[in-house]
Structure 1
Amino acid sequence: MTEHMEPPELFVDVQIADDIADHPALPSEEALTRWANAAIAERCQLEDPELTIRLVDNAESQQLNSEYRGKDKPTNVLSFPFEAPPEVPIPLLGDLIIAVPVVEQEAIEQNKTSETHWAHMVVHGCLHLLGYDHIKDDEAEVMESLERQILAQLGFSDPYSEEKL
């Protein structure tokens, strides 16, 4: 008889930049945690993993995107995986930096609800932290398939479909 082990519960530290703290479209910490947990469940090898999600304005996103990716514009989500040296047993998965105005604008442009797009961005960013990417077509197919599966489990429609909620 094999023992069924539950996936580790992710600890999420949500940080909200002061200048967007009163933004009306911020998702709750509970929602952010639920979406992140769905993305890492059964995919993360860390015991008791930790993740920081920082919600920022366009200026902070643009500064980080320029500094770390060489792109001088704000972007929806930046993923910074943490790689501890083998002798340092820290269960930190990494950091997600999400630009609130960009996510809200994209939701409008893509005819999605705010919640639907937020869930997609958190799942997308967490998959990046786990090593998934979408630069090459075959990698994109794998990552997008996982996004569809995870979001469907959460009750959201296909984020790449032409028909949006």
Structure 2
Amino acid sequence: MNLLLEVQRVVEDDGIPGPMQFQAWAEAALNGRLEQAELVVRIVGLEESRQLNHEYRGQDKPTNVLSFPFEVPEVVTDDPVGDLLGDLVICAPVVADEAAAQNKPLEAHWAHMLVHGVLHLLGFDHTTDAEAEQMEGLEVEILESLGFSDPYQSEREL
């Protein structure tokens, strides 16, 4: 896997993983699915997340991760953009709050959000039960390959 990753940190927080961690997690999510990719991961605060979530999803609140797959404009006839996968926008305060509320290690939740977002960029979704089952299965498999436990385990025990 040849991944060109750009990490943009708009907020500072001690709990935000470093670029090498994001790189390893993204490569694990892409392994066997793409040979080459370019990806931007932007780490933001509550306001930017809320604005983007409102503009693109119609929800006026911050969210953990937003995925923006790259789409070649119709006016482009050749493929000058090559391997652009898209952008992920991850809200650091939401990720930290969710990890605490769910009693999950912060690093594990960051890894989950990155893997979840990358799978969205690859076209996976969870709008139906069948899609959710497939996507969650992939997330669990990828996260376990990275040494993290099943992020959905507590939900399954209910």
TM-score w.r.t. the length of structure 2 is 0.92
2-side partners of 1:106 and 1:61: how far apart?
Answer: 15
2-side partners of 1:15 and 1:154: how far apart?
Answer: 23
Confirm or deny that 1:10 pairs with 2:6: no
Within the candidate set 43, 48, 53, 1:55 is matched to 43
Tell which deviates more after alignment, 153-162 or 87-96: 87-96
SS at match of 1:36: helix
Matched with 1:126 is 118
Matched with 1:78 is 66
| Aligned amino acid, residue 94 of structure 2 | V
Q: Percent identity?
A: 56
Paired residues in the alignment total 151
SS at match of 1:135: coil
1-side partners of 2:51 and 2:125: how far apart?
Answer: 22
Note the aligned Cα RMSD (angstroms): 1.3
1-side partners of 2:152 and 2:77: how far apart?
Answer: 38
1-side partners of 2:77 and 2:84: how far apart?
Answer: 13
SS at match of 2:86: strand
1-side partners of 2:80 and 2:144: how far apart?
Answer: 33
Confirm or deny that 1:100 pairs with 2:88: no
Confirm or deny that 1:35 pairs with 2:25: yes
- How far 1:59 sits from its partner (Å)? 0.2
Within the candidate set 151, 154, 157, 1:162 is matched to 154
| Aligned amino acid, residue 81 of structure 1 | P
Unaligned runs of 5+ in 2: none
1-side partners of 2:97 and 2:26: how far apart?
Answer: 22
2-side partners of 1:130 and 1:12: how far apart?
Answer: 15
Matched with 1:88 is 79
- How far 1:157 sits from its partner (Å)? 0.3
1-side partners of 2:136 and 2:77: how far apart?
Answer: 31
Tell which deviates more after alignment, 89-98 or 61-70: 89-98
Stretches of 4+ aligned residues off by more than 6 angstroms: none
Unaligned runs of 5+ in 1: 1-7
SS at match of 2:89: strand
2-side partners of 1:125 and 1:56: how far apart?
Answer: 15
SS at match of 2:151: coil
